[in-house]
C-alpha cells in the first residue's frame, strides 16, 4: 500500500521494516560557517526530542495544536487522537475506519480544524473513500465534548479518481478564511491522462473554496476572486495547477505565502511557492527542466519551483513543511523547513528576501537535522514551534535548539 505517489516508496517501506533509534537527542548535522557582513546568520545547531510524552501512533500522517494546550494526531488508518502535551488523557476524537480505503487506497490523508473550531466544533478530513468507484472525499464533522458525532458528517467534495495513488493532499485554511486543498493528478508515473495541465479537472491542482456556510444543499461556494472564475473550460475552484502529488503545504504565518512540496517522478523533488493562477509545470516539466530530458518542451508561462533536489543519498519523496516563526530558535526565524520521506532528513531553505526572485535552479538541500525516520508531515504547536511526524515508527519529534 502506497502512502503517497512517490516512485519506489512502497518497496522502500517494505525493506526498511521498523527502525530502532538510539535513546536521547537526535543531533543536527549542520556545519556552521562564519557570518559575513550583509549575509544572513548561519543556521543553528538543532536537535529532535521526543514530543507528546514519547507516545507512539500507528502510521501517523498529521499533527497539530488543539484547544486547551492539547494536540491532535491523525493516523492513516482513520483514527484521530487528541492528547495532552505530556501524552496523557489520550482519546479518540474521530474514527473514520468504516469510511476509508487503506487496502487499495491511501486512507486518511489530512485533517484540519476549522478557523472557528472553538465556536462551531467543525473538524475537516480528506480521505480516500471505501468502496467503488475510486474517489476521494473532503468531509466536515462536528465535535461535541471531544468526540465526533457521526451523524454530522457532511461530504463537501467527492472527487472521482482514476487510480489509487497520487491523490494528494493537505487541507489548510488561509488568513482569508478560505479552505485550500492540494490534489494529486490521481494517476501513476508520468500522468498519462495529463490531468496536471487540464484546467477542466481539479486533479493536479490546489483548490480554494468557501466553506463558511456549508450545507447539504450547497456544500461550498466559489470565491469570486479565484483566478479561473468565468474562464471557459476551467474549473472555478482552481487556485493553481500543474502539480503531480502535492502531499503537504502550509501558509507562512507572516505574509501568508503558500509553500508546497510536490513529489517528483524521475529525479526532481520540488519546493514551490504557490502563485495565484500559476501553472507549476507538471507534467510538461519536472524541477527546472523537461519531464523527459531528452525531449524539448515549452515551459513558457510556467512557474518554476523555488528549489528542487534529486534522489541521491537515499532521498525519494519531498515532504512539504513550514516556515518557522517561533521564538525558541531565533536563528531559524523565516526559514522554510521541509523533509524527505525516505532519507529522514529535515532541510532548511532561506526564502529570497522581499520581492527577490528565487535562485531558479536545482540546488542541494541544506541538511538541518537527520535521523527523523520516515518524515511524512510537519506540524506546529500553539507557539509556532515545529513538530515532525515519523510515519514508520509512529513517533512525533519536537525541533529544539541544541
Q: Which domains can be identified in the chain, with CATH numbers?
A: 9-401 (2.120.10.30)
Does position 9 have pLDDT exceeding 60, yes or no?
A: no
Are the C-beta atoms of residues 107 and 115 closer than 8 Å to each other?
Answer: no
215-229 per-position pLDDT tens digit: 999 999 999 999 999
Q: What is the average per-residue pLDDT within 114-136?
A: 97
Are the C-beta atoms of residues 287 and 318 closer than 8 Å to each other?
Answer: no
Mean residue pLDDT across the chain: 89
246-301 per-position pLDDT tens digit: 999 999 999 999 999 999 998 899 999 999 999 999 999 999 999 987 789 999 99
CA 97, 103, 105: angle at the middle one, nearest 5?
A: 85
What confidence category does residue 166 fall into, taking pLDDT thresholds of 50, 70 and 90?
A: very high
Residue 288 grid cell: 527546472
Distance, in Å, from the CA atom of 27 to the CA atom of 177, rounded to the nearest integer, reads 38
Coil, strand or helix at 9: helix
Are the C-beta atoms of residues 265 and 7 closer than 8 Å to each other?
Answer: yes
Are the C-beta atoms of residues 32 and 371 closer than 8 Å to each other?
Answer: no
Question: Residue 359: its pLDDT value, please?
Answer: 57
368-387 per-position pLDDT tens digit: 999 999 999 999 999 999 99
This prediction's pTM: 0.91
Residue 136 grid cell: 476521494
Q: What is the average per-residue pLDDT within 393-397?
A: 98
Amino acid at each position: 500500500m502506497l502512502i503517497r505517489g512517490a516512485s519506489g516508496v512502497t518497496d522502500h517501506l517494505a525493506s526498511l521494516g521498523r527502525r530502532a533509534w538510539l535513546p536521547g537527542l537526535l543531533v543536527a548535522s549542520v556545519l556552521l560557517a562564519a557570518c559575513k557582513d550583509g549575509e544572513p546568520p548561519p543556521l543553528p545547531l538543532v536537535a529532535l526530542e521526543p514530543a507528546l510524552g514519547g507516545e507512539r501512533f500507528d502510521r501517523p500522517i498529521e499533527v497539530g495544536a488543539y484547544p486547551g494546550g492539547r494536540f491532535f494526531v491523525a493516523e492513516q488508518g482513520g483514527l484521530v487522537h487528541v492528547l495532552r502535551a505530556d501524552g496523557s488523557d489520550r482519546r479518540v476524537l474521530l474514527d473514520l475506519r468504516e469510511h476509508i480505503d487503506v487496502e487499495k487506497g491511501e486512507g486518511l490523508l489530512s485533517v484540519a480544524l476549522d478557523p472557528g473550531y472553538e465556536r462551531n466544533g467543525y473538524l475537516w478530513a480528506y480521505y480516500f473513500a471505501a468502496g467503488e468507484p475510486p474517489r476521494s472525499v473532503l468531509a466536515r464533522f462536528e465535535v461535541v465534548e471531544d468526540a465526533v458525532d457521526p451523524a454530522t458528517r457532511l461530504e463537501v467534495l467527492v472527487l472521482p479518481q482514476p487510480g489509487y495513488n497520487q491523490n494528494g493532499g493537505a487541507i489548510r485554511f488561509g488568513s482569508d478564511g478560505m479552505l485550500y486543498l492540494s490534489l494529486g493528478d490521481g494517476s501513476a508515473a508520468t500522468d498519462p491522462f495529463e490531468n496536471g495541465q487540464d484546467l477542466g479537472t481539479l486533479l493536479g491542482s490546489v483548490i480554494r473554496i468557501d466553506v463558511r456556510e456549508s450545507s447539504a444543499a450547497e456544500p461550498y461556494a466559489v470565491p469570486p476572486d479565484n483566478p479561473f472564475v468565468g474562464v471557459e473550460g476551467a474549473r472555478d475552484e482552481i487556485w493553481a495547477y500543474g502539480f503531480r502529488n502535492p502531499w503537504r503545504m502550509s501558509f507562512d504565518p507572516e505574509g501568508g505565502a503558500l509553500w508546497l512540496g510536490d513529489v517528483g517522478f524521475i529525479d526532481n523533488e520540488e519546493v514551490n511557492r504557490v502563485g495565484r493562477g500559476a501553472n507549476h509545470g507538471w507534467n510538461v516539466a519536472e524541477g527546472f527542466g523537461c519531464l523527459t530530458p531528452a525531449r524539448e518542451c515549452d515551459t513558457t508561462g510556467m512557474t518554476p519551483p523555488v528549489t528542487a533536489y534529486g534522489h541521491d543519498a537515499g532521498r525519494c519523496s519531498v515532504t512539504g513543511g513550514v516556515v518557522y516563526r517561533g521564538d525558541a530558535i531565533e536563528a531559524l526565524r523565516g526559514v522554510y523547513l521541509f523533509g524527505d520521506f525516505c532519507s529522514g532528513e529535515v532541510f532548511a531553505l532561506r526564502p529570497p528576501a522581499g520581492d527577490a526572485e528565487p535562485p531558479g535552479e536545482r540546488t542541494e538541500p541544506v541538511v538541518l537535522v537527520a535521523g527523523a525516520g520516515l518524515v511524512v508531515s510537519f506540524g506546529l504547536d500553539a507557539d509556532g514551534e515545529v513538530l515532525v511526524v515519523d510515519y514508520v515508527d509512529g513517533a512525533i519529534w519536537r525541533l529544539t535548539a541544541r
